[in-house]
């Protein structure tokens, strides 16, 4: 099932009888760009980790956990380090992978497909994992990039609070700009723990989102790509 992109006008949505809880449970999103404050990078990474550790310690305390226990007393700093350096490192544009372009000396003019790129992200509505695979493809307009860079671009955008539709489009738009081509396709098949571990608690469902640009936006190319993914 392909989910259509949905852009939400919060005020209009509220007038229709819905609130922010409904938006979160329905996994709707507000735009292509990850919502960021204007001063998002006012604090250094070390300052962010220090502040997050203090705040997470407070959360643990409110939950009633004994922070003097040897197993728990280091958790706030571990969580802070994990947030900044690992699972949300994609929020910082300085962490975007450096991409080198090369001439297409092989004159390979068919689609190149990198499939089954495993990624871990986090739902921006409940901060629980999204686990999935991404398949990306492009047709060279004269330049190519190293295969590992396709994986790294996927990982960069996955490492931030996400909605799957936005993740799909962000990867596609980056590849279009980097490769200077509209001929880009992105398919993501993922499992959302906010669906399987809470709320409806459906453990068997998965979500598929797609982006087909340029030559890929034809029945013939879509069928060809899908055929490669089955192999």
Please write down the long-range contacts of 38-42, taking CB distance under 8 Å and 24 or more positions apart.
Answer: 40/91, 41/92
Confirm whether residue 135 is marked as ligand binding. no
The dihedral sign for the CA sequence 120, 123, 129, 130: negative
Confirm whether residue 27 is marked as ligand binding. no
Q: How far is 167 from 209, CA to CA, in rounded Å?
A: 9
Query: Quick check: is 107 catalytic?
Result: no
Catalytic pick among 126, 135, 162, 165: 126
Query: Quick check: is 123 catalytic?
Result: yes
- Cα end-to-end distance, the chain, whole Å: 20
Catalytic pick among 58, 94, 107, 125: 125
Check: CB of residue 33 under 8 Å from CB of residue 7: no
The dihedral sign for the CA sequence 78, 118, 154, 204: negative
Query: Quick check: is 192 catalytic?
Result: yes
Confirm whether residue 123 is marked as ligand binding. yes
Query: Quick check: is 4 catalytic?
Result: no
Catalytic pick among 123, 135, 162, 170: 123
Catalytic pick among 27, 155, 162, 164: 164
Q: Which of 84, 60, 82 is nearest to 72 (CA)?
A: 60
Q: How far is 143 from 65, CA to CA, in rounded Å?
A: 55
Query: Quick check: is 10 catalytic?
Result: no
Neighbours of 46 (CB within 10 A): 10
Neighbours of 47 (CB within 10 A): 11
Catalytic pick among 27, 124, 155, 162: 124
Query: Quick check: is 194 catalytic?
Result: yes
Instruction: Please list the active-site residues.
Output: 123-126, 164, 192, 194
**Binding region:** 123, 126, 194
**Binding region for Zn(2+):** 123, 126, 194
């Amino acid at each position: 099932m392909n989910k259509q992109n949905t852009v939400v006008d919060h005020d209009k949505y509220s007038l229709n009888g819905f609130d922010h809880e409904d938006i979160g449970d329905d996994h709707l999103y507000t735009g292509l760009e990850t919502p960021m404050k204007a001063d998002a990078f006012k604090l250094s990474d070390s300052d962010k980790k220090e502040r997050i550790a203090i705040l997470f310690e407070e959360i643990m305390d409110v939950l009633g956990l004994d922070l003097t226990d040897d197993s728990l007393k280091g958790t706030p700093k571990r969580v802070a380090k994990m947030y900044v350096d690992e699972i949300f490192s994609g929020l910082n544009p300085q962490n975007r992978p450096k991409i080198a372009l090369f001439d297409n000396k092989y004159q390979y003019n068919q689609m190149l497909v990198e499939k089954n790129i495993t990624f871990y992200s986090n739902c921006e509505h409940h901060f629980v994992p999204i686990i999935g695979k991404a398949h990306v493809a492009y047709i060279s307009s004269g330049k190519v990039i190293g295969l590992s860079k396709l994986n790294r671009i996927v990982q960069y955008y996955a490492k931030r609070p996400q909605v799957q539709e936005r993740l799909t489009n962000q990867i596609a738009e980056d590849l279009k700009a980097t490769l200077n081509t509209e001929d880009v396709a992105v398919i993501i098949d993922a499992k959302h723990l906010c669906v399987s571990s809470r709320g409806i608690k459906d453990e068997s469902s998965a979500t598929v989102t797609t982006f087909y640009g340029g030559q890929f936006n034809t029945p013939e190319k879509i069928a060809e790509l899908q055929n490669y993914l089955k192999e």
